[in-house]
Structure 1
Amino acid sequence: MTIDVHLPDLLFVRKIEVSFQINRGVYNTIDAWFYENGHIDVLERRQHILTFLQYIKAKLEKEQSGKRLHFPGGLTNTLENYVALQKIG
């Protein structure tokens, strides 16, 4: 499923929630983390969020039997490791 980064906020978040089985609080934390780490432009930030969630979902799909994504080592640590691997600054 492709999610359009140009959707209104509420529709974008709802599609994220359904596609990745995360709640609004987790989404808000990811969004805030990217913002605080220099990704000010909302479209760029949304693209980074989508890429991060797709990466994590693919990586953890084999390890997790449940539908919801879990972040081993914590969400912030997972974000930091992801950025280091992707070198997106």
Structure 2
Amino acid sequence: MLTTNVNVPDYTFQKSIEKNFGINRGIYNRIDEWFFEQGIQDVMTRRQVIVEFSNFVVESKMKMGTSARTRFGHGGLVKRLNDFWNVRPFVIEEAIK
């Protein structure tokens, strides 16, 4: 499991996500927005959930034996976000408290 310091400026955090998980700025922004829309309004908590989601995606890629840049395809990002939301309820419950 990769970790990222969530207590840094936004640009630094996003670049860390890109470096560690291969998620570019545009996708990162959409992920951030999606979690905000789900009720995770605290920035630090949302960043922690983004790291957890990124690890979730990387774990899935490793099981499939791929290691290239993270790609989701058409509609794939929202599907993965929903998968994460449903599979990792303990993370979500803590985040929206």
Q: Above 0.5 in TM-score?
A: yes
1:83 maps onto 2:85 in alignment: yes
Instruction: Give the TM-score normalised by structure 2.
Output: 0.82
Q: Contact conserved, 2:3 with 2:51, CA < 8 A, in 1?
A: no
Alpha-carbon shift at residue 38 of structure 1 (Å): 0.2
SS in 1 for 2:64: coil
Q: Which residue of 1 aligns with 2:7?
A: 6
Size of the aligned set, in residue pairs, is 89
Q: Percent identical across equivalent pairs?
A: 39
How far apart, in 2, do the equivalents of 1:65 and 1:50 lie? 19
Q: Which residue of 2 aligns with 1:26?
A: 27
Q: Which residue of 1 aligns with 2:38?
A: 37
1:43-88: CA deviations, max 9, x gaps? 0000000000011101112325352112366101110111111122
Root-mean-square deviation (Å): 1.7
- Structure with bigger RCO (C-alpha 8 Å, 6+ apart): 2
Contiguous gaps of at least 5 residues in structure 1: none
Alpha-carbon shift at residue 41 of structure 1 (Å): 0.1
Instruction: Give the TM-score normalised by structure 1.
Output: 0.89
Contiguous gaps of at least 5 residues in structure 2: none
